[in-house]
Structure 1
Amino acid sequence: MSARSIQAVNPAVAFAALGLLVVVAVPFAFILLQAIFPELGRGSLAAPFSRLADTLGDVRLIRMTGNTILLGLGVVALSALIGVPLAVARALFRVPGAMLWDLLMLVPFMIPPYIATLGWIMTLQPRGYVHQLFGFNLAPFLLSVWGIIFVMTLNTFPVIYFAVSRTVEAIGSRYADVGRVFGASAWRAFWRITLPLATPGLAASLLLVFAMAIEEYGTPAALGRRAGFDVLVTGIDLRVSDWPIDLPGAAILSLVLVGLSFGAFLIQRWILTRRSYQTTTGKPQTIDKRPLGRWTLPVVLGFALVAMLATAVPLLAILATALSRTISGGLAVSNLGLDNFLAIFTDGVGALRALGNSLSLGVAAALFTGLLGALSAYAVVKSTFRGRNLLDVLTILPNALPGIVVAVGLILAWNQPWLPVTPYNTALILLLAYCCILLPQPVRYATAAFHQVGDNLEAAARVFGATPMTAFRRILLPLILPTLLASMLLVFAVATRELVASIIVAPVGMQTISTYIWRQFEQGSVGLGMAMAFVTILITTIFPLIVLSLLGKRGGLL
Structure 2
Amino acid sequence: MARGSTTGAGGSRGFLWISALSLGLVVALPALFVVLVAVFPDLGRGSLAAPFRPLWRVLSDPALAVLLRNTLVLGLGTVAVSAALALPLAALRALFRVPCARVWDLLLLIPFMIPPYIAALSWILTLQPRGYLEQLSGVNLAGLLFSVPGIILLMALNTFPVVYFILSRNFETIGARFSDVGRVCGAGPWRAFLRLTLPLATPGIAASLLLVFAMAIEEYGTPAALGRRIGFEVLVTGIENRVSEWPIDLPEAAGLSLVLVLLALAAFAVQRWLLARRDYRILGGKPQPFQKRPLGRWRLPVLALFALVAGVATVLPLLAILAAALGRTISGGLRPDNLGLTNFAELLDLGSGGLRALSHSLSLGVATALLAGGLGAITAYAVARGAGRGRAALDALSLMPNALPGVVVGVGIILAWNQPWLPVSPYNTPLILLLAYTCLLLPQPVRYASAALQQQGDSLEAAARVCGAAPRTAFARIVLPLMTPSLITSMLLVFAVASRELVASLLVAPVGYETISVYIWRQFDQGSVGLGMAMALCTIAITTLIPMLLIALMRGRLSPG
Normalised-by-shorter TM-score class: over 0.9
Q: Report the Cα distance in structure 2 between the residues aligned to 1:302 and 1:487, rounded to whole angstroms.
A: 33
Worse-matched range after superposition: 127-136 or 272-281? 272-281
* Equivalent of residue 258 in structure 2, options 255, 259, 264: 255
Counterpart in the other structure of 2:473 = 470
Map 1:239-250; keep pairs closer than 5 Å: 239-250=242-253
Residue 431 of structure 1 corresponds to 434
| Residue-by-residue CA offset, 1:264-303 (whole Å, 9 max, x unaligned) | 1111222223333333699997632101112111111111
Deviates more, 1:541-550 or 1:431-440: 541-550
> Which residue number in structure 2 is paired with residue 552 of structure 1?
555
Quote the offset at 1:335 in angstroms.
0.4
For residue 147 of structure 2, what is the aligned residue in structure 1?
Answer: 144
CA deviations 1:291-331 (Å, max 9, x no partner) are 11121111111110110111101100000000000100000
Cα pair 1:25 1:394 within 8 Å, conserved: yes
Q: Secondary structure at the match of 2:456?
A: coil
Q: 2:219 and 2:316 mapped to 1: Cα distance?
A: 21
Provide the residue aligned with 2:220 in structure 1: 217
2:116 corresponds, among 110, 113, 118, to: 113
How many residues are paired up?
558
User: What is the 5 A alignment of 1:165-176?
Assistant: 165-176=168-179
- In 1, Cα distance between the equivalents of 2:558 and 2:399? 32
Q: Deviations over 1:85-105 (max 9, x none)?
A: 000000000001100000001
Other structure's SS at 1:288 match: coil
Q: Match for 2:457 among 450, 454, 460?
A: 454
Q: State the distance in 1 between where 2:312 and 2:297 align.
A: 25
Q: Which amino acid aligns with 1:402?
A: P
Q: CA deviation at 1:431?
A: 0.5
**Matched residue, 1:538:** 541
Within 1, Cα distance between the matches of 2:236 and 2:404? 12
Question: 2: distance between equivalents of 1:435 and 1:514?
Answer: 17
Provide the C-alpha distance between the structure 2 equivalents of 1:74 and 1:95, rounded to a whole number of angstroms: 29
For residue 46 of structure 1, what is the aligned residue in structure 2?
49
Are the equivalent residues in 2 in contact too, given 1:398–1:436 (CA < 8 A)?
Answer: yes
The one-letter amino acid of 1:447's match is S
CA distance in 2, matches of 1:138, 1:489: 38
Equivalent residues of 1:382, 1:450 under 8 A apart: no
The DSSP-based 3-state class of the residue aligned with 1:14 is: helix
1:178 CA displacement: 1.5
Whether the aligned pair in 2 keeps the contact of 1:381 and 1:450 (CA below 8 Å) is yes
Shift of 1:375: 1.1
Tell me what 2:91 maps to. Answer: 88
Question: What is the correspondence of 1:344-383 to structure 2 with a 5 Å cutoff?
Answer: 344-347=347-350, 349-383=352-386
Secondary structure of 2:130's partner?
A: coil
The one-letter amino acid paired with 2:542 is: I
Letter in 2 for 1:129: Y
Look up the match of 1:9.
12
Shift of the 321–121 alpha-carbon distance from structure 1 to 2, 3 Å rule, reads same
- Give the letter for the 1:446 counterpart: A
- CA contact 1:341–1:528 (8 Å) conserved in 2: yes
Q: Give 1:419's match in structure 2, choosing from 393, 408, 422.
A: 422
Q: Distance in 2 between matches of 1:68 and 1:226?
A: 16
TM-score, normalised to structure 1, is 0.98
Out of 499, 523, 526, the position equivalent to 1:523 is 526
Could you tell me which of 488, 506, 509 is aligned with 1:506? 509
Aligned to 2:293: 290
Correspondence for 2:408 among 393, 405, 408: 405
Structure 1: how far apart are the matches of 2:280 and 2:380?
27
Per the alignment, in what secondary structure is the counterpart of residue 95 of structure 1? coil
Aligned-pair CA distance for 1:351: 0.7
3-state SS in 2 of match to 1:64: helix
CA-to-aligned-CA distance 1:404-423 (integer Å, 9 cap, x gap)? 00000000000000000001
Higher mean C-alpha deviation, range 539-548 or range 26-35: 539-548
Residue of 484, 491, 496 corresponding to 2:494: 491
Q: Could you tell me which runs of 5 or more consecutive residues in structure 2 were left unpaired when the two chains were aligned.
A: none
1:76 deviation in Å? 0.2
8 Å CA contact retained: 1:111, 1:537: yes
1:496-536: CA deviations, max 9, x gaps? Answer: 00000000000001000000000000000000000000011
How far apart, CA to CA, are the structure 1 residues paired with 2:366 and 2:79? 32
Q: 1:68 to 1:182 in 2, by over 3 A?
A: same
CA-based RMSD: 1.6
1:305 aligns with 2:313: no
User: How big is the shift at 1:176?
Assistant: 1.2
Q: Identity of paired residues, percent?
A: 65
SS at match of 2:290: helix
2:112 partner letter: F
- 2:201 maps to 1:198: yes
Structure 2 CA distance for aligned equivalents of residues 32 and 285 of structure 1: 53
Relative to structure 1, is the Cα distance of residues 101 and 24 closer, same or farther in structure 2, using a 3 angstrom cutoff? same
In structure 1, distance between residues paired with 2:479 and 2:442: 20
Q: Is the 8 A contact 1:169 1:284 kept in 2?
A: no
* Offset of residue 465 of structure 1: 1.3
Instruction: Tell me the amino acid that sits aligned with residue 59 of structure 2.
Output: L
Q: 1:430 to 1:153 in 2, by over 3 A?
A: same
Which whole-Å CA distance do the structure 1 matches of 2:266 and 2:310 have between them? 32
Q: Secondary structure at the match of 1:546?
A: helix
Offset at residue 77 of structure 1 (A): 0.1
Code of the residue aligned with 2:465 in structure 1: it is: R
CA-to-partner distance for each residue in 1:435-481, whole Å, 9 max, x for gaps? 01111111111111111111212111111111111111111111111
**Contact 1:11 / 1:469 at 8 angstroms: preserved in 2?**
no
Corresponding letter in the other structure for 2:143: P
Q: Which blocks of at least 5 consecutive residues in structure 1 are unaligned?
A: none
Which of these residues, 307, 312, 319, is aligned with residue 316 of structure 1? 319
CA shift at 1:247, angstroms?
0.5
Equivalents in 1 of 2:44, 2:507: separation in Å? 18
Q: In the alignment, is the contact (CA less than 8 A) between 1:43 and 1:417 conserved in 2?
A: no
* Contact 1:126–1:137 (CA under 8 A) maintained in structure 2: yes
Instruction: Please name the residue that 1:334 is paired with.
Output: 337
Q: Which amino acid aligns with 1:523?
A: Q
Q: How does 1:153-172 map to 2 (within 5 A)?
A: 153-172=156-175
Aligned residue identity for 2:383? V
Distance 2:37 2:245 in 1: 18
1:19 and 2:10 aligned: no
Alpha carbons 1:72, 1:214 under 8 Å: kept: yes
Secondary structure of 1:51's partner? helix
Distance 1:347 1:145 in 2: 42
| The one of 216, 227, 231 aligned to 2:230 | 227
Aligned to 1:126: 129
Instruction: Note if contact 2:176-2:290 (Cα within 8 Å) is conserved in structure 1.
Output: no
Aligned counterparts of 1:331 and 1:385: Cα–Cα separation in 2: 65
Q: Is the 8 A contact 1:172 1:285 kept in 2?
A: no
Instruction: Using the TM superposition, give the Cα deviation of residue 244 of structure 1 relative to its aligned residue in structure 2, in angstroms.
Output: 0.9
1:396 corresponds in structure 2 to 399
